[in-house]
Amino acid sequence: MLKNFFLRRKKDSRQYTSEDKNEVECQKLEKKVDKELGGGLKKFKRLNYNYWDFSTLQYREQLINYLKKDIIYVYVLAKNADSDIDREIYANTLCGNLCSFIDLYAQVLNIFYRLGLKPLRNNFSPTLLNPTTNIIDQAINGNLKKCNKQESATSWGKVKEMIGRKYDVQNDYYEKAKAILDSNPNITAMKNLRNYSVHYQPLFSRFEIWSKNNNIMFSVNSNNRASDQYQKFVELAHRVIKKELLAIHYFDGMCFDQKMVPKDRKNERVSIFRCDNCNSELMVTDYFKDFLKEKCKLKILCERCKQYSTITDTGKTQIVHPEKYDSLLVNELNNMDIIDSNGRSIFQDINDSNTQE
């Protein structure tokens, strides 16, 4: 009895050691992802072109977290798997997750470019306030159905179609990301494997059926379980991970460097002014610059010094994305004050008039 106890403890110790090694390897790969993406951000040169706020971060975080937790973690488990059943389970999961990255990429672009395509989930809420609306309950209750022909469901093909219809696609980041997800031979091979595992039988299964000389053949001990085939799959998965990481970098480019422009809009030119209080530079639209021609003083709430200050034209201009131009207009309406030749605030006159009414 005591001997069996120590044998179990020894076995458990080996198991924990294996889990610890997997965790350490995952952390190293995750840090490598952060380092490569961080280095990529430093290469962007048009950081003042796009409209950007903190909500933009959630789009890239979705892709990064999926790559780390749903792909890299499973990749490490598959790479270090010992038993045949573990290899089969992890390989098929990894294959599916690698290909599902494309679906997630499509959903992120759908939101980022406001394409209006719909996910298959109906009235879905992940919060604890509505625990019965999760995806499993919807499937069991029959509410998770395919969208009908009148609805536009989110898919990679549909996203590309909508982007081509609504946006000027002369964008290097989008074109390179699309080329990777559509034409890269490693990703194409992985998509073919997922199609095989979904419609025929799991990868590295003991059972296999195929056609030989027009005869249907069946095998209980498939040679796909050979170690060299499994190693080739793991190496293929690693190459796909590197390409999907590159696709995230190109999405970063669309987020922080150059977003595509809608076909019904164009880039706008803004003037660069300097805050007379702290000397920081600010972008100003022609709409408010025209007030200077009326011999008015222009004051703005400076983001750096948090003071309403007069501003001076530097004579410099810059091209910005139309979304950024729109945001500058809104900011000017909310945070600018115009002083007339008598030293009185025009906006204050409006406020006084509203108060008297």
For 222-270, how does the pLDDT look when each residue is reduced to its tens digit (9 = 90+)? 555 567 889 999 999 999 999 999 999 999 999 989 999 999 999 999 9
Which of 4-8, 215-219, 313-317 is predicted least confidently? 4-8
Which comes out higher in pLDDT, residue 280 or 195? 195
Beta-carbon contacts of 44 under 8 Å, excluding residues fewer than 6 positions away, are: 252, 253, 256, 257
My answer on whether 65 and 18 are in the same domain is yes
CB atoms within 10 A of CB 308: 15
**CA pair distance 56, 246, nearest whole angstrom:** 19
**132 located within any domain:** no
Asked if residue 354 has pLDDT above 50, the reply is no
My answer on whether 204 and 297 are in the same domain is no
**145 located within any domain:** no
Both tokens assigned to 59: 């789009």
My answer on whether 229 and 302 are in the same domain is no
Confidence of residue 357 (pLDDT cuts 50, 70, 90): very low
**CA pair distance 2, 8, nearest whole angstrom:** 10
My answer on whether 258 and 181 are in the same domain is yes
My answer on whether 283 and 255 are in the same domain is no
Both tokens assigned to 182: 């559509």
User: Of 262, 295, 325, which residue constitutes the final position of a domain?
Assistant: 262
pLDDT given for residue 6 in this prediction: 43
Between the CA of residue 352 and those of 174, 301, 357, what are the distances in Å?
A: 50, 20, 9
Bridge partners of 271?
284, 317
Length reported for the chain: 357
Angle at 14 (CA atoms; ends 12, 18), nearest 5 degrees? 115
The residue behind tokens 């890239």 is 60
My answer on whether 206 and 57 are in the same domain is yes
My answer on whether 282 and 206 are in the same domain is no
Asked if residue 149 has pLDDT above 80, the reply is no
Confidence of residue 2 (pLDDT cuts 50, 70, 90): very low
DSSP-H helix ranges across 42-72: 57-65
Cα dihedral angle (76, 79, 82, 87), rounded to 10 degrees? 100
**CA pair distance 155, 166, nearest whole angstrom:** 16
Percent of the chain exceeding pLDDT 90 equals 44
Domain residues for 18?
12-121+150-262
Cα-atom radius of gyration of the chain, to the nearest Å? 28
**36 located within any domain:** yes
pLDDT given for residue 68 in this prediction: 97
**39 located within any domain:** yes
* Residue 282 host element (H or E): strand 281-284
Which comes out higher in pLDDT, residue 219 or 157? 157
- Average pLDDT of span 195-211: 83
pLDDT given for residue 181 in this prediction: 98
* 26-30, 55-59, 200-204: range with highest mean pLDDT: 26-30
**CA pair distance 17, 11, nearest whole angstrom:** 10
Which of 307-311, 335-339, 345-349 is predicted least confidently? 345-349
**126 located within any domain:** no
* pLDDT tens digits, 43-102: 887 768 888 777 778 889 999 999 999 999 999 999 999 888 899 999 999 999 999 999
Pairing assessment for the beta strands 208-212 and 215-219 based on DSSP bridges: antiparallel
**319 located within any domain:** yes
pLDDT given for residue 350 in this prediction: 44
- Average pLDDT of span 309-315: 85
**33 located within any domain:** yes
User: Of 239, 262, 285, which residue constitutes the final position of a domain?
Assistant: 262
**4 located within any domain:** no
My answer on whether 222 and 93 are in the same domain is yes
User: Of 262, 290, 319, which residue constitutes the final position of a domain?
Assistant: 262
pLDDT given for residue 228 in this prediction: 87
Helices (H) and strands (E) in the chain, counts: 12, 9
Asked if residue 293 has pLDDT above 50, the reply is yes
My answer on whether 184 and 323 are in the same domain is no
Q: What is the number of domains present in the chain? A: 2
My answer on whether 254 and 329 are in the same domain is no
Beta-carbon contacts of 51 under 8 Å, excluding residues fewer than 6 positions away, are: 259, 320, 321, 323, 324, 326, 327
My answer on whether 196 and 287 are in the same domain is no
My answer on whether 276 and 252 are in the same domain is no
**CA pair distance 199, 308, nearest whole angstrom:** 65
List, as one string, the DSSP characters of 286-310: HHHHGGGGGT-EEEEE-TTT-SEEE
Asked if residue 303 has pLDDT above 60, the reply is yes
